[in-house]
Structure 1
Amino acid sequence: MRHIRRILLAVALLSSGMAFGQITEDPEDRERGNQGYEPLRTQTPEGRPLPFWQRLRVGGGITGFRFGNPFSLGAAPVVAYQASERLVLGIGGSYTYTRYKAIDRVTGRTIPFETYNQFGARGFVMFEALPSVIPNLYLHGEVDNSAIQVIDNINGGRQTASVTAPLLGLTFSQRVGRLAGVNITALYNLNYNGNRLNQAIYGSPFVFRISFF
């Protein structure tokens, strides 16, 4: 019985000593771990540069989502590249389908009126301006080119037009892992002038997006 007690006492002392060592040893490392420091975006934990393909972000979002009259739905894929810890370069595309309906004055029925097919391509730059003050807040600039095709479903006529717009604003990126994130973007269209084409493509001088990349 005495031997068993001595063994239990030794185990208890050893385990308490290991626990005390874990609590007191390397307090700075423990603090950094508890704070959940994020890994670097362009380097491995050993400090080696990430290869090109590991710096790529691929994603996108849904655009022009409306039900009723008009009905609208679109998609906007994105490919972005983490050029440095604070700089992101990217390209994207978009397609939005919009359908308007009207009431036939003779029959009183709802009939297709106009259909819009909108295609777009853009290049953008994001720069994290003040990472020590507001992490993951980026200055955002891009050039967007959009073309729209309007189909008159009653007379069968078609019209096509395009516009190029420089956009400036901010993006807040809530990171998920090393590179992926949820991005909330607010931009201002410097070329918006309120004509019918700008209204048909953008709706207003302000552009808001939620995207994933």
Structure 2
Amino acid sequence: MNYIQKFLFITLLLSSSIAFGQLTEDPEDRRNQGRDPLRTQTVDGEPLPFGQRLRFGGGITGFQFGNPFSLGVSPVIAYQATEHLIVGIGGNYVYTRYKPGYIYANQGVTINQYGGRGFLMYEFIPSILPNLYLHGELQTNMYQQKVDQVSTAFTGNVTAPLAGLTYMQPITRRFGVNLTALYNLNYRPNDPISYQVYGGSPFVLRLSFF
């Protein structure tokens, strides 16, 4: 996938996210009053109901056209526990297809990866760098590789704690664009499952929307 395609795809995602954020604009947003919107309280200082603290979203992962073709989704549900703490859960699925001749001369290969994660995000220096969060999560992934015309599949799983930072660009009180950089504390380069799931690197970069 060339740079022009990547640029157009990211622009489309950002545009759709901004439109979604406008449709879900919180009626109690305080920006029009010259103050930042509170994340857990109404304009009168009352705690927000549980449903109004929830965030929904996700992202696109493993996006690649050609050979191999790869595409994944990662839905997220998050909860604004305090003004500076977000907790959440997410799932992920990535489909990858190698055409015959890429790995094996006359056989294609299909790879399915799926799993889940739980995470915490804490805005640790809001007075200096607002919307910068310490990010920690525990992620589990299942891996299945199937070769055409072969009855059995190679399977495995890997569990990894990840730690790093997330920067959130808010669009509304309950929706934003998130750029995340994490380090896999359990990365094992000699483990074929860990290598395949995390692309041969202990670093995980992620663009998500919630």
Q: TM-score, normalised by structure 1?
A: 0.79
Which deviations, in whole Å up to 9, do the C-alpha atoms of 1:5-43 show, x marking residues without a partner?
xxxxxxxxxxxxxxxxxxxxxxxxxxx978943210000
Which amino acid counterpart does residue 95 of structure 1 have in structure 2?
A: Y
Task: Name the CA distance, whole Å, in 2 between partners of 1:33 and 1:192.
Answer: 43
Q: Which residue of 2 aligns with 1:198?
A: 194
Which amino acid counterpart does residue 201 of structure 1 have in structure 2?
A: V
How much identity, in percent, do the aligned residues show?
59
Task: Name the CA distance, whole Å, in 2 between partners of 1:160 and 1:116.
Answer: 10
Task: Name the CA distance, whole Å, in 2 between partners of 1:111 and 1:209.
Answer: 35
Structure 2 stretches lacking a partner, 5+ long: 1-29
CA apart distance, 1:99? 0.7
Which of these residues, 39, 44, 49, is aligned with residue 47 of structure 2?
A: 49
Q: Which residue of 1 aligns with 2:156?
A: 161
Which amino acid counterpart does residue 198 of structure 2 have in structure 1?
A: Y
SS of the residue 1:91 aligns to: strand
CA apart distance, 1:160? 1.3
Q: TM-score, normalised by structure 2?
A: 0.80
SS of the residue 1:200 aligns to: helix
Which deviations, in whole Å up to 9, do the C-alpha atoms of 1:117-160 show, x marking residues without a partner?
11010000000010000000000000000001110114333121
Per chain length, whose mean CA-contact separation is higher, i.e. which structure has more relative contact order (CA < 8 Å, sep 6+)? 2
CA apart distance, 1:102? 3.1
Task: Name the CA distance, whole Å, in 2 between partners of 1:119 and 1:75.
Answer: 10
Which amino acid counterpart does residue 85 of structure 2 have in structure 1?
A: L
CA apart distance, 1:169? 0.3
Task: Name the CA distance, whole Å, in 2 between partners of 1:181 and 1:156.
Answer: 44
Query: Which residues of 2 match residues 43-192 of structure 1 at below 5 A?
Result: 43-103=41-101, 112-192=107-187
Task: Name the CA distance, whole Å, in 1 between partners of 2:198 and 2:151.
Answer: 25
CA apart distance, 1:178? 1.1
Indicate the larger mover: 93-102 or 50-59. 93-102
SS of the residue 1:53 aligns to: helix
Contact 1:99 1:112 in 2 (8 A): no
Task: Name the CA distance, whole Å, in 2 between partners of 1:125 and 1:34.
Answer: 30
Which deviations, in whole Å up to 9, do the C-alpha atoms of 1:148-193 show, x marking residues without a partner?
1110114333121001000000000000111210000000000101
Task: Name the CA distance, whole Å, in 1 between partners of 2:121 and 2:127.
Answer: 17
Which amino acid counterpart does residue 188 of structure 1 have in structure 2?
A: Y
Structure 1 stretches lacking a partner, 5+ long: 1-31, 105-109
Task: Name the CA distance, whole Å, in 1 between partners of 2:34 and 2:147.
Answer: 56
Which amino acid counterpart does residue 209 of structure 2 have in structure 1?
A: F
**Larger radius of gyration between Structure 1 and Structure 2:** 1
Indicate the larger mover: 157-166 or 78-87. 157-166
